[in-house]
Amino acid sequence: MAREFSTVGVVGLGTMGAGIVEVFARNGIDVVAVEISAPALERGRATLKGSTDRAVAKGKLAEADRDALNERVHFAVGLDALHSVDLVIEAVPEHLDLKQRIFAELDRVCRPETILATNTSSLSVTEISVATSRPNQVIGIHFFNPAPVMKLVEVVRTVVTAPEVVADVEALCARLGKVDVTINDRAGFIANALLFGYLNHAVGMFESHYATREDIDAAMKLGCGLPMGPLALMDLIGLDTAYEILDTMYRRGGRDRRHAPVPLLKQMVTAGLLGRKSGRGFYTYERPGSPVVVPDEATPLATDGALADGARAIAKVGVVGSGTMATGIIEVFAKAGYEVVSVTRGMEKSAKVCEAVKTSLNKGVVRGKLAEADRDAALGRISWSATLDHLADVDLVVEAVVEELSVKKALFASLDEICKPGVVLATTTSSLPVIDVAMATQRPADVVGLHFFNPAPVMPLVEVVRTIRTSPEATATARAVCAALGKTGVVCGDRSGFIVNALLFPYLNDAVKMLEASYSTADDIDHAMKLGCGYPMGPFELLDVVGLDVSLAIQRELYLELREPGFAPAPLLEHLVTAGYLGRKTRRGFRDHSHR
């Protein structure tokens, strides 16, 4: 029978602590809310009042319920007020010595049967517990911000935490309406261990001038459906907090270079550029604490992403290829008003592409997303051919053939001979070096990558990949074309994975390594990232959709180019691919999809 908690204490009433107070009080539990001083206590009281008043204004909390909630909270200065509570949750800043001092004092003040919990997101619960004479009654209860909204709680047990304490806390989470994942005491737990490696990688990408802050953030929001881009998220978390979490995970987590804070991060923290809380971080904000971004001139390493004038006029576009991607690109250009020449190998394939485009456009009409007249106009702009010679008068060629470098190089060599001077030649490759394709021509300055995402008619993102030989005019033209298509074009250098895959797949690989180490289950890891970070899919759900073989191939490319030990493909991923467990397409991957 799970223990019934009637009164809990919360130490520290910052944003997180006040949120935890609200969670308990909303669920009928009396709370003793403690701070170090009267001014800090008043700030915590104001934070709680502001949150509950906003909930009332939005119709999410009745006034009577708000008043009852507030009556359940007793505010006090000093830990002595916690002498009779059943459970204490500490939510002070992430400094081990501070937490140890607090736990030593709680051990003295609280009843022998009281459970002592820390809300730490990265520090060792074990190291905190040994400051007490009751380490078997110490546990981690990691809420996510904002605590009243976020459903996930990571329950962190140490090697000596009593099983009944774990069971009692799990039952409490259920009473609070939270989804708990129970894990062992390891640096970063689940969510932060996966999230902050990805965030740190994004900071490194920005530090190296690989892409602008805006393009990195747009790429991950639009390409992966994430609620926020990584740099905007760092500003929200606080760069000082992010640095402490990364530094702790690096020191405690085996000194993985993926968690070694990028030097720029330490420099920004030293300079007081902490993100939203200070009014400036990777972005500049209207005022400290405001979410409103304003134009700036001096954000570290920021560039406005402006491209040289001289974008070339594009009226007629050639698309080479017969697969799903080529079909989608043809549709996108035709709907945007461009004259399109579709070139395939043979008229039989050309007829199949034509039929696929018609089918897709007809679906748009049936779903009410496209008028019949617009469908007919789009089809009227497309001509079909089985020879590259019909590309002699186009202004832009987009290649969407098989991902084999020899095939692409041969094609671009042919295009170089056929196309008129000044034509922009674009490859849709998602993994091959664009420069290798460009050097197969005598006009590498005119070659760019245009990485559309599948399905091209739906996905709003295009990665514009410039090589060291690509001219500013060609890059400007590519980005202008993206805008004309209604797409967001993000510009990056010619490096394996570009932006999206370079950030996404190491994160997925880290999740596989976590599973491989038996730290948690695939279900709990997926829950952690969806409920704790707001991701649309968990890493294992996404791996099964993408295909384990595709993921392995991309991860191998990243590792071969960057030679970063942390990017080495997880052996478990390699073994599953070898065994033919490729995800949904084989009905077996990290999960059994045979019933679908």
Q: Are residues 455 and 543 in the same domain?
A: no
Which residue among 51, 119, 122, 192 is the active-site one? 192
Last residue of a domain, one of 184, 200, 233: 184
Domain range spanning residue 556?
501-586
Q: Are residues 160 and 199 in the same domain?
A: no
Which residue among 121, 200, 496, 509 is the active-site one? 121
- Please state the length of the chain: 596
Q: Is 207 a catalytic residue?
A: no
Q: What is the mean pLDDT of residues 358-376?
A: 94
Last residue of a domain, one of 132, 151, 184: 184
Q: Is 306 helix (H, G, I), strand (E, B) or coil?
A: coil
CATH code, 424: 3.40.50.720
Q: Are residues 555 and 525 in the same domain?
A: yes
At a CB cut-off of 8 Å and minimum separation 6, what does 462 contact? 450, 451, 452, 453, 482, 485, 487, 488, 489, 490
Is residue 483 a part of any domain in this protein?
Answer: yes
For 275-299, the pLDDT digits (tens) are: 999 999 999 999 998 899 998 865 5
Which residue among 119, 142, 331, 399 is the active-site one? 142
Phi, psi of 163 (to 5 degrees): -55, -35
Is residue 394 a part of any domain in this protein?
Answer: yes
Closest CA to 504 of 275, 230, 282, 319: 230
* Cα–Cα distance measured from residue 23 to residue 258, given in angstroms and rounded to the nearest whole number: 34
At a CB cut-off of 8 Å and minimum separation 6, what does 346 contact? 386
- Based on the structure, what is the number of domains in the chain? 4
Q: Are residues 472 and 545 in the same domain?
A: no
Given a contact cutoff of 8 angstroms between Cβ atoms, the answer to whether 528 and 143 are in contact is no
Is residue 591 a part of any domain in this protein?
Answer: no
Residue 142 has pLDDT above 90, yes or no: yes
For 209-235, the pLDDT digits (tens) are: 999 999 999 999 999 999 999 999 999
Closest CA to 121 of 165, 185, 71: 185
* Cα–Cα distance measured from residue 333 to residue 339, given in angstroms and rounded to the nearest whole number: 8
Last residue of a domain, one of 161, 184, 207: 184
Q: Are residues 471 and 339 in the same domain?
A: yes
Q: Are residues 288 and 351 in the same domain?
A: no
* Cα–Cα distance measured from residue 116 to residue 136, given in angstroms and rounded to the nearest whole number: 10
Indicate the pLDDT class of residue 339, thresholds 50, 70 and 90: very high
Phi, psi of 226 (to 5 degrees): -80, 150
For 49-58, the pLDDT digits (tens) are: 999 999 999 9
CATH code, 247: 1.10.1040.10
Which residue among 22, 35, 90, 154 is the active-site one? 154
For 446-469, the pLDDT digits (tens) are: 999 999 999 999 999 999 999 999
Q: Are residues 437 and 358 in the same domain?
A: yes
- What is the separation, in whole angstroms, between the first and last Cα of the chain? 38
At a CB cut-off of 8 Å and minimum separation 6, what does 315 contact? 338, 339, 395
Q: Are residues 515 and 482 in the same domain?
A: no
At a CB cut-off of 8 Å and minimum separation 6, what does 297 contact? none
Q: Are residues 73 and 163 in the same domain?
A: yes
Q: Is 71 a catalytic residue?
A: no
- pTM metric for this prediction: 0.89
- Give the dihedral sign, CA 293/295/299/305: positive
Is residue 398 a part of any domain in this protein?
Answer: yes
Q: What is the mean pLDDT of residues 410-429?
A: 96
Q: Are residues 518 and 401 in the same domain?
A: no
Q: Are residues 525 and 478 in the same domain?
A: no
Q: What is the pLDDT of residue 309?
A: 61
Q: Is 362 a catalytic residue?
A: no
CA distances from 192 to 246, 447, 507 (A): 9, 40, 11
The string of DSSP letters for 14-80 reads: SHHHHHHHHHHHHTT-EEEEEESSHHHHHHHHHHHHHHHHHHHHTTSS-HHHHHHHHHTEEEEESGG
Is residue 308 a part of any domain in this protein?
Answer: no
Q: Is 201 a catalytic residue?
A: no
Is residue 574 a part of any domain in this protein?
Answer: yes
Given a contact cutoff of 8 angstroms between Cβ atoms, the answer to whether 343 and 319 are in contact is yes
For 78-93, the pLDDT digits (tens) are: 999 999 999 999 999 8
Is residue 304 a part of any domain in this protein?
Answer: no
Given a contact cutoff of 8 angstroms between Cβ atoms, the answer to whether 450 and 332 are in contact is no
Is residue 337 a part of any domain in this protein?
Answer: yes
Q: Are residues 67 and 139 in the same domain?
A: yes
